[in-house]
Chain A
């Protein structure tokens, strides 16, 4: 079974530029998550999708971050414009239905450096 795919793996940009990350979840998984992990900290949930609907985006900085999952499969996360403090690893995860007893499966992440 293929895992969660993410691209790119690494990205370096200058502040105020835009960047986009892509995620393809495990086939058949209805729930998709985007996390931000700053160096030395645990992952923090940015947004959770159930199929193509948003379940939780309470911690998404909506003035600069946006995410979509138009067909309920793959997803993109965009930052526009980027700030220095956005330097982090962006992890995508998926689970079958998003229930509290389920395991989340994580992709390898995209490491973003904002200069």
Chain B
């Protein structure tokens, strides 16, 4: 498959808890990106981490990258109901082609 592996496929947690999603890939990367998709706002870019970076933060989001293990994780802290969505990792293949994983469906329960 051209797509990476995301784990877990589905995650359900209580509001206020932290959510961690993982992404693995097979080929070397220049960068890895995370996107969120929900019915209200469609597919939205969250964060980009370059291959020479190990960790990046944006608000309640923390992304880590381990190029030796070809894996990345997305941590959402203090989750809110509005965080309910599908989360995708995406890597660049070749010069410009963005290849998405299959996604993690996150549900935040009130």
Contacts and interface: CB of A to CB of B under 8 A. Distances in A.
Interface of A: 31, 33, 40-45, 48, 55-56, 91, 93, 98-101, 103-109
Nearest to B33: A103
B88 interface: yes
Contacts of A45: 97-99
Interface of B: 2-3, 30-31, 33, 42-45, 48, 50, 88, 90, 92, 94-103
Contacts of B30: 100-101
Contacts of B42: 91, 106-109
A100 B103 CA distance: 21
A24 B88 CA distance: 24
Contacts of B101: 42
Nearest to A106: B43
B98 to A, nearest CB: 6
Contacts of B97: 45, 48, 56
11 contacts: A31-B96, A43-B43, A44-B2, A45-B98, A55-B96, A56-B94, A56-B97, A91-B42, A100-B31, A101-B31, A106-B42
A43 B100 contact: yes
B42 to A, nearest CB: 5
A80 B109 CA distance: 43
Given A42-B3, A103-B33, A107-B42, 11 more contacts: A42-B88, A43-B43, A43-B88, A45-B98, A91-B42, A93-B43, A101-B31, A101-B48, A106-B42, A106-B44, A109-B42
Contacts of A93: 43
A42 B45 contact: no
B100 A100 contact: no
A33 B103 CA distance: 20
